[in-house]
Structure 1
């Protein structure tokens, strides 16, 4: 599953399955894609350099992650990392925050009944104005296989 920011709604040239309906074998990673993706992966794809089959990634213009980390959260009281499984069928929530002045993207996960942890799971510095156009669409995409 992926949260997507893109300059268009038409992804008719994209492929399903591992490309999540966002890119294809010919354009994955191209700067002209102008897409920003936060993906939650349950399948490890060697061609995208996935770290494992249970991770969150921040992707720019394709499905190879700029940053990725194992799924989980940092406990506010102990500071310890608490692992979670995307395929657990347990409800979870995801926060995606972008700080424009610092040009920093933060992704935070937690169980559904928990407040947002203070420490994000994943952070990446990136100037989104280099990728995103003035008009963008926000949405979700998902695929199997």
Structure 2
């Protein structure tokens, strides 16, 4: 991804928080599969990850969302009371009642008063196109 070299990966001075949408299974970073969402803190190896999926409100059943088929998704990331909630759904749906990833994590050593937002992606042996619509 070009964020930093392996020599400083997992260094607390990186001060990096990210939500990754990954369509390549990389054993080096212990990826769970080739269609997952992960939370990264100071490293490209995730703190927590789940297969990309949607929680349906009516029955609570998770439905798989395929990241690499050209569909647009809306993603919500909330951080409150040391809890990160990541939720995703097809672009025209409301925020699902249940989150995809809910993890207790203290980011006070990561966040500073002023920081930059950055969007980045990586590729594997296949070509991928990523867009941020809003």
Q: TM-score, normalised by structure 1?
A: 0.82
**Structure 2 runs not aligned, ≥5 long:** 125-134
Deviations along 1:14-55, one digit per CA (max 9) or x if unpaired, are xxxxxx121212111111101001000001111111111100
> 4+ runs of 1 displaced by more than 2 Å?
none
Q: Are 2:75 and 1:75 equivalent residues in the alignment?
A: no
**1:83-122 equivalent positions in 2, closer than 5 A:** 83-99=64-80, 102-122=81-101
Q: Secondary structure at the match of 1:57?
A: strand
Q: Secondary structure at the match of 1:97?
A: strand
State how many pairs are aligned: 124
Q: CA deviation at 1:143?
A: 2.5
Provide the alpha-carbon RMSD of the alignment.
0.9
Q: Which residue of 2 aligns with 1:128?
A: 107
Q: CA deviation at 1:139?
A: 2.2
Larger relative contact order (C-alpha < 8 A, sep ≥ 6)?
Answer: 1
d(CA) in 2 for partners of 1:111, 1:61: 29
**Structure 1 runs not aligned, ≥5 long:** 1-19
d(CA) in 2 for partners of 1:83, 1:76: 14
Q: Secondary structure at the match of 2:43?
A: coil
Q: Which residue of 2 aligns with 1:5?
A: none
Alignment partner for residue 14 of structure 2, among 33, 39, 47? Answer: 33
d(CA) in 2 for partners of 1:39, 1:144: 12
Q: Which residue of 2 aligns with 1:141?
A: 120
d(CA) in 2 for partners of 1:48, 1:131: 20
Q: TM-score, normalised by structure 2?
A: 0.89
d(CA) in 2 for partners of 1:49, 1:40: 14
Higher percent of residues as strand: 1
Q: Which residue of 2 aligns with 1:58?
A: 39
